[in-house]
Structure 1
């Protein structure tokens, strides 16, 4: 892996961001039993085969450079992942990319999502500045007030309401964060 694609991490914190591993299968299965996670997911995980596919998609995305998905481990809660943060590049050299996240029910309300998203954001702007990345978008369905709060805490300002489009049946919000000096 090249230097700019090293796993991001949060300093002075109990959070560690690392690649997803095959041994995380049970965590993925458990997390996707949560209706809130299933409702916000673009890739449903309903059984072990789907969880294996999900983990494989994370690895393939990292290898292709088009998706960088990281397990979020809060060492204060143990060694197992309690969340996910991801950076999705629509095309190499694009000036924008999309970020996403989820947090396991047992870890919600602890500030993990905004802190992990902040770490991913800092890493993404540092890692891909030379490729022209200047804007990150966080998109969620209207009515997801928790995601609006996470976006705000992570420095993503509200940008616009998006029309409903598959796989989302409702309108959405787009929040954005720009790199220092970004257009």
Structure 2
């Protein structure tokens, strides 16, 4: 179990997912953009329970650290950010994220990704992280903008890999300073 204070960003709280988040999680996944760009879909409460269990398993293993991004004042679910691929022997991990439709265009994803990138860089690990990658569909201009805003320059265009990636993608990489 990770025993470190959670990352934070102005106006946001990043915390582990909770069972009480299920209705908002399912509601967010009804969004057409999320259905288009995400590889995992949460269409109903049962699927949501399975998704939450997978996030908990990731925390328990220390290989997938997923955060609900909520408003600091009202606790409303605004999005999700995850660092995955945190295998002990690997120096590379991957960021993923989404924002609820009502939170888009407000800097929520950028603030959350920046906070989690800084936080995970400081985690004690057998093999220190050297880089964090961010991969998205080539047509997802919003994700491209978030990557650039967070200091993840475009590194490569990736070929399509159906069924998960039916179209080509972009790989952005953040090389951790001093590594």
Alignment TM-score > 0.5, same fold: yes
**Greater share of helix:** 1
Q: Distance in 2 between matches of 1:49 and 1:2?
A: 27
Correspondent of 2:55 among 53, 58, 63: 58
Segments of 4+ moved more than 4 angstroms = none
Structure 2, unmatched stretches of 5+, are: none
> How big is the shift at 1:7?
2.0
Residues 3-54 of structure 1 deviation map (CA, whole Å, 9 limit, x = unaligned): 34x42222xx111100000110001110000011111212111121111111
Q: Residue deviations 1:76-126, cap 9 Å, x none?
A: 5x2122100000025222010000000000111111110100000001111
Count of aligned residue pairs for this structure pair: 178
1:2-151 superposed matches below 5 A: 2-4=2-4, 6-10=5-9, 13-76=10-73, 78-89=74-85, 91-128=87-124, 131-151=127-147
* Contact 1:20–1:55 (8 Å) recurs in 2: yes
* Residue in structure 2 matched with residue 153 of structure 1 by the alignment: 149
Give the Cα separation in 2 of the matches to 1:122 and 1:90.
Answer: 15
Residue 130 of structure 1 and its aligned partner are, at CA, apart by: 5.5
The Cα RMSD (Å) is: 1.4
Give TM-score scaled by structure 1 length: 0.92
The TM-score, its normalising length taken from structure 2, stands at 0.94
Which residue of the other structure, out of 170, 173, 177, is the alignment partner of 1:176?
A: 173
Q: CA deviation at 1:132?
A: 1.8
TM-aligned CA distance change 1:64 to 1:129, over 3 Å: closer
Q: Distance between the aligned counterparts of 1:125 and 1:144, measured in 2? A: 26
After TM superposition, give the deviation of residue 129 of structure 1 in Å: 5.9
